[in-house]
């Protein structure tokens, strides 16, 4: 761990379950940001984060960065507010799948439309984990819990397909055990100008353990010659996994950048934000 990564640690004791993939998400995030700081691309003070409420939300406790530990479902409007308030900030949101695709769904749709220059990571364990295992909109059909003893009858929503059809300008999936790949994908998302969305596919070891399924079916798009600028190919890739574990059929779970497009950002569309960015830049630089 380099000096910059150490500065991103807090003294808070982790309350995640031992072995929870959230630990790996945290480490990859620290590495990605640590490397960017080390390379002189940004300072710790240039980054602002927002997290939802859930197991994923504890990222706020363990990352020594400014921001807002916000309400369940409200990560994206909080990120948007921070970005509008100071367009020079590098804003990163961390949400749960319950958080983002249930209560927060309308924000997700409009963030893709507005295209603010922010990064959104969704810790997608396909379950409301902190509230002990209820089905979310991405839980697989037939998923049982105390709240759904007969199994949810609904097909899971495919957030990647949705994001591409909303014309989100950067759409990716990562798997936390592929730490190097996850770190590099996060860096690409931070470099992207516009709304960069990353769905983190991972098992909740307690309430939805699909580790064996994921390990068996995951492959890296970068090794497959995928062209993320081809929208039709991107949709085909997004369709490969329908978020069921497909006990009867072969499923492929692609990870990496699925779709990427250059598109006007929110600041491009709002000249006042551009002005504010320039005006604040000088002030911001004196504060470093």
Ligand X SMILES: Cc1ncc(C[n+]2csc(CCOP(=O)(O)OP(=O)(O)O)c2C)c(N)n1
Residues making contact with ligand X (CB under 6 A): 52-56, 71-73, 96-99, 103, 123, 125, 127-131, 136
CA angle 45, 51, 56 (to 5 degrees): 120
For ligand SF4, what does the binding mask look like between residues 19 and 48, x meaning CB under 6 A? -x-x--------------------------
Task: CB nearer to ligand X: give 118 or 122.
Answer: 122
Q: Which two tokens stand for residue 149?
A: 């003893």
Question: Which stretch of DSSP H or E encloses residue 204?
Answer: none
Residue among 24, 26, 50, 204 that touches ligand SF4 (CB under 6 A): 204
Kind of pairing, strands 253-260 and 170-174? Answer: antiparallel
- Residues 250 and 273: their CA atoms lie apart, in Å, by 48
Spell out a b/e string for 192-201, using b for 16 or more CB atoms within 10 Å of the CB, else e. Answer: bebbbbbbbb
Task: CB nearer to ligand SF4: give 129 or 190.
Answer: 129
Residue among 157, 166, 179, 205 that touches ligand SF4 (CB under 6 A): 205
Task: CB nearer to ligand SF4: give 103 or 268.
Answer: 103
Residue among 16, 101, 170, 243 that touches ligand SF4 (CB under 6 A): 16
Contact assessment for residue 115 and residue 169, using Cβ atoms and an 8 Å cutoff: yes
- Residues between 249 and 278 with contacts to ligand SF4, criterion CB under 6 A: none
Question: Which stretch of DSSP H or E encloses residue 93?
Answer: strand 90-96
Instruction: Output the smallest distance, CB 11 to ligand SF4, in A.
Output: 19
- Residues 247 and 263: their CA atoms lie apart, in Å, by 39
Pick the piece of the chain touching ligand SF4 (CB under 6 A) from 13-21, 138-146, 212-220, 270-278.
13-21
Task: CB nearer to ligand X: give 112 or 138.
Answer: 138
Instruction: Output the smallest distance, CB 125 to ligand SF4, in A.
Output: 5
186 binds, among ligand X, ligand SF4, none (CB under 5 to 8 A by kind): none
Determine, following the binding rule CB under 6 A, whether residue 55 of this chain makes contact with ligand SF4.
yes
Instruction: Output the smallest distance, CB 176 to ligand SF4, in A.
Output: 11
Burial class (CB in 10 A: 0-12, 13-18, 19+), 131: middle
Task: CB nearer to ligand X: give 10 or 15.
Answer: 15
Task: CB nearer to ligand SF4: give 18 or 149.
Answer: 18
- Residues 202 and 97: their CA atoms lie apart, in Å, by 11
Contact assessment for residue 201 and residue 175, using Cβ atoms and an 8 Å cutoff: yes
Coil vs helix vs strand at 187: helix
17 binds, among ligand X, ligand SF4, none (CB under 5 to 8 A by kind): ligand SF4
Instruction: Output the smallest distance, CB 22 to ligand SF4, in A.
Output: 5
Task: CB nearer to ligand SF4: give 207 or 243.
Answer: 207
C-alpha dihedral (11, 12, 16, 20), degrees to nearest 10: -20
Q: How far is CA 74 from CA 95, 134, 135, 152, 266, in A?
A: 9, 20, 19, 25, 19
Question: What residue ranges bind ligand SF4 (CB under 6 A)?
Answer: 16-17, 20, 22, 55, 125, 129, 204-207
């Amino acid at each position: 761990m380099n000096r910059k990564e150490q500065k991103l640690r807090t003294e808070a004791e982790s309350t995640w379950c031992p072995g929870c993939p959230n630990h790996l998400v945290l480490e990859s995030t620290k590495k990605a940001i640590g490397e960017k700081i080390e390379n002189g691309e940004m300072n710790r003070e240039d980054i602002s984060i927002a997290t939802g409420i859930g197991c994923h939300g504890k990222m706020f406790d363990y990352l020594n960065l400014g921001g807002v530990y916000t309400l369940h479902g409200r990560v994206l409007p909080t990120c948007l507010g921070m970005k509008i308030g100071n367009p020079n900030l590098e804003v990163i949101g961390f949400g749960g799948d319950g958080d983002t695709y249930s209560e927060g769904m309308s924000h997700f749709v409009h963030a893709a439309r507005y295209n603010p220059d922010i990064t959104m990571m969704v810790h997608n364990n396909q379950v409301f984990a902190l509230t002990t295992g209820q089905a979310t909109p991405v839980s697989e059909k037939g998923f049982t819990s105390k709240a759904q003893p007969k199994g949810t009858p609904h097909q899971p929503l495919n957030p990647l397909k949705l994001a591409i059809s909303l014309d989100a300008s950067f759409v990716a999936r990562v798997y936390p055990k592929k730490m190097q790949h996850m770190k590099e994908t996060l860096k690409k998302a931070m470099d992207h100008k516009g709304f960069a969305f990353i769905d983190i596919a991972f098992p909740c070891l307690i309430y939805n353990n699909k580790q064996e399924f994921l390990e068996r079916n995951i492959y890296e798009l970068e090794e497959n010659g995928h062209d993320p600028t081809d929208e039709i190919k991107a949709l085909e890739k997004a369709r490969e996994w329908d978020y069921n574990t497909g006990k009867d059929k072969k499923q492929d779970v692609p990870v990496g950048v699925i779709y990427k497009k250059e598109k006007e950002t929110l600041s491009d569309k709002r000249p006042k934000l551009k002005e504010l960015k320039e005006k604040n830049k000088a002030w911001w630089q004196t504060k470093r």
